[in-house]
Amino acid sequence: AQSVAQPEDQVNVAEGNPLTVKCTYSVSGNPYLFWYVQYPNRGLQFLLKYITGDNLVKGSYGFEAEFNKSQTSFHLKKPSALVSDSALYFCAVNKAAGNKLTFGGGTRVLVKP
Amino acid sequence: NAGVTQTPKFRVLKTGQSMTLLCAQDMNHEYMYWYRQDPGMGLRLIHYSVGEGTTAKGEVPDGYNVSRLKKQNFLLGLESAAPSQTSVYFCASSYGGLYGYTFGSGTRLTVV
């Protein structure tokens, strides 16, 4: 079975400060890892993914994520947060050759001016 | 390019009523999914389909049925709605594991 844990229900950060949203996963074999963002009353939007290769993945809106195989983590980061980054963020995992994503419980990010 | 379209966007049902949620995608994706989103519980997979004419149960299938008669459409049915089915329902589609999902904008369902 595959699973994702997002240990923080909410992350508060001041605008301009670095933002980190944590994610750890469990999956048999090689993982495919994804981050999605959900703005109020909207569907989930794709941010970035890790399939293979460089452990640092760059995505939309200035976000990046670092894959750490030994720690089974895929933390989302942004060097300088914006108020508009306030949203709900989901980490998801799929095993290689699988076709079903398993999502974490989500982390609400609040960026204060 | 519409992507994934869900109808309706909002619905209020009385307990025991039935309804069908429609999901349509125009990206020629093989895989389609229905999730429900509840506060504090993230997204839970209800049913999914790996191709036209095929469906499979997900994590929380009880009380729901699905059909995929055409590749572009995936229907979610509630035969006898219960208050526990009050939720936001999301449809998604995908080419397969490498590609992630494209999500619809959701259907907010309230069962009273």
* Tens digit of each residue's pLDDT (9 = 90 or more) over A53-100: 899 999 999 999 999 999 999 999 999 999 999 999 999 998 766 688
CB-count exposure of residue B52 (10 Å: 0-12, 13-18, 19+): middle
The amino acid at A49: K
Provide the pLDDT confidence category of residue A110 given band limits of 50, 70 and 90: very high
Query: By the CB < 8 Å criterion, does A46 face chain B?
Result: yes
Question: What's the pLDDT tens digit per position in B81-101?
Answer: 999 999 999 999 998 877 889
Q: How far is CA B87 from the centre of its chain?
A: 11
In angstroms, rounded to a whole number, what is the distance separating the alpha carbons of residues B18 and B79?
Answer: 5
Cβ-nearest to A99 among B90, B96, B106: B96
Asked if A99 lies within 8 A of B50 by C-beta distance, the reply is yes
Residue of A nearest to B100 (CA): A34
In angstroms, rounded to a whole number, what is the distance separating the alpha carbons of residues B33 and B46?
Answer: 8
Query: Minimal CA–CA distance to B72: which of B35, B30, B102, B36?
Result: B30
Task: Give the per-residue pLDDT at A22.
Answer: 98
Task: Give the per-residue pLDDT at A29.
Answer: 85
Residue B99: which residues within 8 A CB-CB, separation 6 or more?
none
Residue A56: left (phi > 0), alpha (psi -120 to 50), or beta?
beta
Residues of B within 8 A of A90 (CB-CB) are 42-43
Query: Minimal CA–CA distance to B37: which of B111, B112, B107?
Result: B107
Cβ-nearest to A43 among B42, B45, B104: B104
CB-count exposure of residue B72 (10 Å: 0-12, 13-18, 19+): middle
Residues of chain B with pLDDT under 50: none
**Residue A105 C-alpha, separation from nearest chain B C-alpha, in angstroms:** 4
Asked if A101 lies within 8 A of B105 by C-beta distance, the reply is no
In angstroms, rounded to a whole number, what is the distance separating the alpha carbons of residues B36 and B28?
Answer: 23
In angstroms, rounded to a whole number, what is the distance separating the alpha carbons of residues A35 and A60?
Answer: 10
